[in-house]
Structure 1
Amino acid sequence: MSTPGTASDRVRRFTRVLAAVIVPFLGAAVVLLYLLPNATDVTFAWTIQPALTAMFLGSAYAGGIVFFVHVLRTERWHRVKYGFPAVVVFASLLAVATFLHWDRFHFGHISFFTWVTLYLTTPVLVLVAAALNWRADPATPEPRDYAIPRAARIAIALVGVVAFAAGVALFVAPTAFLDVWAWPLTPLTGRVVGAILTLPGMVNVWLLVDPRWSAFRSIFQAQLVSLVFIAGALVFAAGDLTWDRPAGPAFAVGIALSLVAYAAFYVYCERRSRGGSAVGQ
């Protein structure tokens, strides 16, 4: 029996089908970029160097798998709602980057056709899915929900704003960062890294308007997985970091602190939610 306010809070079939189609492509990308980062010259749509950049992109896709599996499995739209604007922005930026650096791609390779097809269609299809579902959220808490404290929401949103601003700056003017970034970049990889950095910003800002932990639990799981993969990339591709630049060690420390902070925040909210600290109480 459904609880009050949940009847319309559902994920439409179109959105589930879209998630089911996207997940296998993300899985393939994780294998090619994260497990085989030094072979992108023969396996991927374009050659990515150094390996850390490939693994960084693969880490974003790993989080995407978690997110879209939740989209596929969850019964309630509000649990995944705020991830969709982030995906639209990320995919749109990668589409723009593709056409700005068209000459860098491996024309004729199956990965090239796959990449171009996905980034021509994904921004539109995900935007349509978001539009079809958006108003399905009744904006009511779940029975054992938790109201995230205002101070925590503002702090996390500010972190997101900083990441988003850095991502936009890197995307718009990548050449300005080539000599100061934490590892070697090209204009194309700079724009890709910038697009990835917009993801937490586009998610975290919604905390300013919605305190429900249930609306962010699944998305924070995806972010945690991405952070774990990024941390792994920093270990296995540590040689790619430019340790003689301040940005090198700063990035490594920032990821470590972010992983600890996100994990602590997730555990705290889960415990409070299970304790019955419902929104509005």
Structure 2
Amino acid sequence: MISTGMRRLLAAFTCLTVLAFVALFVGATRTEQYFAWTIKPATTAAFLGAAYGAGCVMVVLALRSGRWPAVRIPYLAVLLFTVATLLATLLHLDRFHLAAPGAVARAAAWFWLAVYVVVPVAMAVLLVRRRPSPADAVGPSTEGAAPMPSWLRAGLAVQGAVFVLVGLALYVVPRSQAVLWPWPLTPLTGRAVASWLLAFGLAAVLALRVGDLRPLRVIAAAYAVLVVLVLVAVLRFPATLRWGAPATWVFFGLAVLMLVTAAAGLRRRPEPAGVGVGRAA
């Protein structure tokens, strides 16, 4: 079981992701009035809103279990995201509406700063204080395990590698967005996007390491929500994309692969280890 502190913190994060989803995905064209900093183009705001929506789904589904094996991957992914976002915020603090004339934007900026200072520290403290138990073990060799088929592991490995590599490149060298991303990003938005890519990449890597279909179902649901919302964002703002750039078509190819992986993770009924192994191989 997870501690009460972890449960409350993840529940608070869920509420915050809902607010961010509304502000960014729904209000993608009004970030200068209602968000912590102005995000241009609107496609970026909608993408970040989609990521918050997917993160919300991942945490909610994990919390429904209440067990650490189900919560561990989302928790670590959220921790990485919040730490990376805090660092990006501090690096670009001058871009935030901390002294904006609009009361809503100014309040949003200070609220953002408070959240990303408090949440990662609290998450790290709770993680360090947590006491492991034998029930934490999960994997293909544990009781009731459902090993991933090899083709699904391969697809997940590709996604995780792309997320981590592109995320690292955008975060460390923001100008690499000109080659790696389908639409223009600023250094701040590039690092904000990279923070989510790194979080989802970590989730994929950890799920691959566990090799069990049970925790994958939570990640698969988040992947499905992310892809659908991102495609809606692209349909809303198609003129922003660099349609002639290879990165755009890699982006769509990865989206298709994510949908296939998500569908497989959600539809495949977990089977105990040793049952149907030959079919899964």
- TM-score tier by shorter-chain length is 0.7 to 0.9
Does the 8 Å CA contact 2:138/2:210 hold for their aligned counterparts?
Answer: no
Q: What amino acid is aligned across from residue 90 of structure 1 in structure 2? A: F
**Correspondences of 1:72-91 after superposition (within 5 Å):** 72-91=63-82
Does the 8 Å CA contact 2:164/2:202 hold for their aligned counterparts?
Answer: yes
Shift of 1:82: 1.1
1:194 and 1:88 map into 2 onto residues whose CA distance is 14
Match status 1:127 vs 2:127? no
Shift of 1:22: 1.6
Q: What amino acid is aligned across from residue 227 of structure 1 in structure 2? A: V
Helix, strand or coil: the match of 1:178? Answer: helix
Q: Which has the higher mean CA deviation after the structures are superposed, 15-24 or 70-79? A: 70-79
2:263 matched residue in structure 1:
264
1:134 and 1:239 map into 2 onto residues whose CA distance is 51
Match status 1:247 vs 2:247? yes
The match for 2:61 among 70, 91, 94 is 70
Deviations 1:2-60 (Å, cap 9, x if unpaired)? xxxxxxxx121111111222222111111110001000001000000011100111111
**Correspondences of 1:185-200 after superposition (within 5 Å):** 185-200=185-200
1:3 matched residue in structure 2:
none
2:12 matched residue in structure 1:
21
Q: State, as a whole percentage, how many aligned pairs show the same letter.
A: 32
Given the two structures, how large is their TM-score scaled by the length of structure 1?
0.86
| Runs of 4+ more than 4 Å apart | 140-145
1:148 matched residue in structure 2:
148
Does the 8 Å CA contact 1:178/1:186 hold for their aligned counterparts?
Answer: no
List gaps (5 residues or longer) in structure 1. Answer: 1-9
Q: What amino acid is aligned across from residue 59 of structure 2 in structure 1? A: F
2:84 matched residue in structure 1:
93
2:272 matched residue in structure 1:
278
2:228 and 2:65 map into 1 onto residues whose CA distance is 23
2:267 and 2:131 map into 1 onto residues whose CA distance is 28
Does the 8 Å CA contact 1:160/1:204 hold for their aligned counterparts?
Answer: yes
Helix, strand or coil: the match of 1:57? Answer: helix
1:118 matched residue in structure 2:
115
2:51 matched residue in structure 1:
60
1:57 and 1:238 map into 2 onto residues whose CA distance is 16
1:251 and 1:74 map into 2 onto residues whose CA distance is 32
Does the 8 Å CA contact 2:59/2:74 hold for their aligned counterparts?
Answer: no
Q: What amino acid is aligned across from residue 188 of structure 1 in structure 2? A: L
Deviations 1:251-277 (Å, cap 9, x if unpaired)? 23432x1343123322443x3x2xxx2
1:210 and 1:180 map into 2 onto residues whose CA distance is 29
1:147 and 1:245 map into 2 onto residues whose CA distance is 38
1:196 and 1:140 map into 2 onto residues whose CA distance is 25
CA 267–216 in structure 1, closer or farther in 2 if over 3 Å, else same: closer
CA 42–88 in structure 1, closer or farther in 2 if over 3 Å, else same: same
Helix, strand or coil: the match of 1:81? Answer: helix
1:91 and 1:262 map into 2 onto residues whose CA distance is 26
Q: Which has the higher mean CA deviation after the structures are superposed, 246-255 or 162-171? A: 246-255
Q: What amino acid is aligned across from residue 114 of structure 1 in structure 2? A: F
Deviations 1:121-154 (Å, cap 9, x if unpaired)? 2222222343444724432578764211245324
CA 183–243 in structure 1, closer or farther in 2 if over 3 Å, else same: same
Q: Which has the higher mean CA deviation after the structures are superposed, 30-39 or 138-147? A: 138-147
Would you say how many aligned residue pairs link Structure 1 and Structure 2? Answer: 266
Deviations 1:153-198 (Å, cap 9, x if unpaired)? 2441232022101101110000233366310111111111211211
List gaps (5 residues or longer) in structure 2. Answer: 100-105, 276-281
Shift of 1:204: 1.3
